């Protein structure tokens, strides 16, 4: 294999030594703790001598599998076997063909998050299986992969995952059961190999880089305990304790708003006990900071939402933004995609440019008509993780007077009754305003968060 410059800590070395002789290998822990690389190195070394020809590499999607296991920032399989491997196709999937001393081996790359993902591998006979983010795989895919290995001459399994709630199915159905069976002797000592790692166990991260990473996290948050300490913990209590404990620290006066590249507006349409809400966010150069500029709501709690009322309320909100921030271009309006008739009404009203701008339009370019689009509606835990990181690094601020967003953030709670990370939505806090707020920025999460 190609020589790759990588340093392993003692805990990682011990895990890999055990993995060479174990069937089931699970590396769990913090992000960037080195657990995926451990599995890749052992998998690659065993591939050289494996008597099986076909092997499996999976992620939540096939693209994730190729990026994390094939590339892995220069430490993936295609780099380990550089000069004697090539990418191709096998049974409709991407595959890496590797020349080894024991013949050509085929590594099939596939996604596993969907209920029907298993169809990609049905009927195949697989030797080794390496999976990243196994907790994001659907149970049908996991069970199908197991069954595809029944005829393997040298069956090996390598999983990695970041911690979740202790009640997550991956623990209940697999890891906790294996740990219990290993402890009571139901499994042979060579079957189950478990390794737990924190970010501090990664010998390749410099002190300077570690300091930068830690600065992105609120030490009191669930994200810190999972991503840094690698601890399984339930999401409970306040979602934004840092903001809730001292909200005034995150407010700025309108006059103190730094120069902004542009602004966007998030819209959550109401009905069925919820309100229509608008939130505008501005972004500084390079997405270094995000500023909540304004918020508003239309009380249409009961009955059908009237398009004319929404348009009128939005017109007032847009006029207010142009008056208060005349030099800031408003580029996009991201709307809840479940109410297409309201979105179409908003587009028609904007195209007429009626009542949307101040009477004195000298500071409002005629081309400054925002584009109305569907919100991405990313998983809520991804939006929350972004907000928590921005708060921790003091890169998210609110213009004084944005009391609706402030109240929503301060009152946001985790739903402790759920297995997954879910925001409590029982009308005890203002979820509508948070949805509108998150619609405004979620499309820029990758730009807002450092790599």
Residue 127 has pLDDT above 80, yes or no: yes
Same topology for domains 10-201 and 241-448, yes or no? no
3-29 exposure pattern, b = at least 16 Cβ within 10 A, e = fewer:
eeeeebbebbeebbebbeebbbbbbbb
Going by pLDDT thresholds of 50, 70 and 90, the confidence category of residue 415 is confident
Residue pair 417/354 in contact (Cβ under 8 Å)? The answer is: no
Question: What local confidence, expressed as pLDDT, does residue 367 receive?
Answer: 42
What number is the average pLDDT over the span 216-228? 85
Cα 41–47–49 angle (5° rounding)?
125
DSSP string, 218-260: -TTSHHHHHHTT-------SBS-HHHHH-GGGGEE-GGGPPP-
Question: What local confidence, expressed as pLDDT, does residue 120 receive?
Answer: 92
Going by pLDDT thresholds of 50, 70 and 90, the confidence category of residue 366 is very low
User: Among 125-129, 340-344, 412-416, which is the least confidently predicted range?
Assistant: 412-416
Beta bridge partners of 295: 279
Q: Which helix (H) or strand (E) holds 88?
A: strand 85-90
Going by pLDDT thresholds of 50, 70 and 90, the confidence category of residue 273 is low
- Radius of gyration, CA atoms only, the chain: 26
List pLDDT tens digits, range 286-304.
999 999 999 999 876 555 6
Domain-wise residue ranges, the chain: 10-201, 241-448
Q: Cα(142)–Cα(136) distance, rounded to whole angstroms?
A: 10
More confident residue, 126 or 218: 126
Residue 230 has pLDDT above 60, yes or no: yes
The contacts of residue 380 (CB under 8 Å, 6+ apart) are 421, 422, 423, 438
DSSP annotation of 319 reads H
List pLDDT tens digits, range 161-207.
999 888 889 999 999 999 999 999 999 989 999 999 999 998 888 88
Residue pair 254/260 in contact (Cβ under 8 Å)? The answer is: no
For 10-201, CATH number out of 3.40.50.300, 2.60.40.10, 3.30.70.20, 3.40.50.2000 equals 3.40.50.300
For 241-448, CATH number out of 3.40.640.10, 3.30.420.280, 3.90.1150.10, 3.40.50.10440 equals 3.30.420.280
Residue 1 has pLDDT above 60, yes or no: no
Relative to beta strand 85-90, strand 93-100 is antiparallel
Question: What local confidence, expressed as pLDDT, does residue 334 receive?
Answer: 97
Q: Cα(342)–Cα(308) distance, rounded to whole angstroms?
A: 9
List pLDDT tens digits, range 311-345.
888 988 998 998 999 999 999 999 998 888 888 88
CA-to-CA dists, residue 243 to 151, 254, 410, 411, angstroms = 55, 19, 6, 10
Query: What is the separation of C-alpha 273 from the centre of its chain, rounded to a whole number of angstroms?
Result: 29
**285: exposed, middle or buried (C-beta count within 10 Å: 0-12, 13-18, 19+)?**
exposed
Residue pair 277/419 in contact (Cβ under 8 Å)? The answer is: no
Using a pLDDT cut of 70, give the percent of the chain over it: 92
Q: Cα(67)–Cα(145) distance, rounded to whole angstroms?
A: 20
């Amino acid at each position: 294999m190609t020589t790759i410059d990588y340093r392993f800590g003692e805990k990682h070395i011990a895990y890999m030594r055990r993995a060479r002789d174990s069937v089931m290998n699970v590396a769990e822990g913090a992000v960037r703790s080195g657990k995926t690389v451990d599995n890749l190195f052992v998998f690659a070394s065993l591939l050289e001598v494996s008597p099986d020809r076909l092997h499996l590499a999976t992620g939540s999607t096939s693209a994730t599998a190729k990026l994390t296991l094939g590339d892995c920032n220069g430490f993936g399989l295609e780099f380990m076997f550089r000069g004697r491997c090539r990418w191709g196709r096998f049974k409709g999937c991407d595959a890496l063909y590797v020349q080894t001393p024991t013949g050509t081996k085929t590594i099939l790359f596939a996604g596993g998050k969907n209920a029907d993902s298993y169809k990609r591998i049905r009927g195949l006979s697989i030797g080794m299986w390496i999976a990243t983010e196994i907790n994001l795989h659907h149970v049908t895919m996991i069970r199908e992969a197991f069954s595809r290995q029944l005829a393997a001459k040298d069956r090996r399994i390598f999983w990695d995952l970041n911690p979740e709630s202790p009640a997550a199915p991956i623990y209940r159905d697999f890891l906790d059961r294996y740990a219990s069976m290993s402890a009571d002797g139901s499994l042979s000592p060579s079957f189950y190999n478990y390794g737990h790692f924190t970010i501090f166990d990664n010998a390749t991260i410099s002190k300077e880089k570690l300091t930068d990473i830690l600065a992105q996290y609120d030490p009191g948050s669930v994200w810190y305990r999972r991503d840094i300490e690698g601890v399984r913990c339930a999401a409970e209590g306040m979602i934004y304790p840092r903001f809730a404990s001292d909200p005034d620290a995150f407010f700025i006066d309108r006059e103190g708003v730094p120069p902004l590249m542009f602004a966007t507006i998030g819209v959550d349409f109401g009905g069925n006990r919820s309100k229509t809400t608008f939130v505008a966010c501005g972004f500084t150069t390079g997405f270094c900071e995000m500023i909540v500029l304004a918020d508003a709501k239309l009380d249409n709690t009961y009955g059908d939402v009237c398009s004319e009322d929404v348009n009128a309320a939005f017109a007032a909100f847009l006029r207010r933004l142009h008056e208060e921030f005349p030099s800031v271009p408003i580029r996009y309006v991201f709307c809840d995609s479940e109410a297409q008739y309201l979105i179409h009404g908003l587009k028609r009203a904007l195209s007429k440019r009626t009542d949307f701008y101040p009477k004195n339009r000298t500071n409002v370019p005629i081309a400054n008509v925002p584009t109305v689009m569907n919100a991405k509606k990313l998983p809520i835990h991804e939006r929350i993780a972004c907000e928590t990181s921005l708060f921790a690094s003091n890169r998210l601020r609110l213009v004084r007077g944005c009391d609706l967003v402030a109240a929503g953030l301060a009152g946001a709670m985790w739903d402790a009754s759920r297995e997954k990370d879910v925001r409590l939505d029982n009308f005890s806090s203002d979820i509508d305003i948070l949805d509108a707020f998150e619609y405004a920025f979620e499309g820029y999460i990758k730009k807002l968060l450092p790599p």
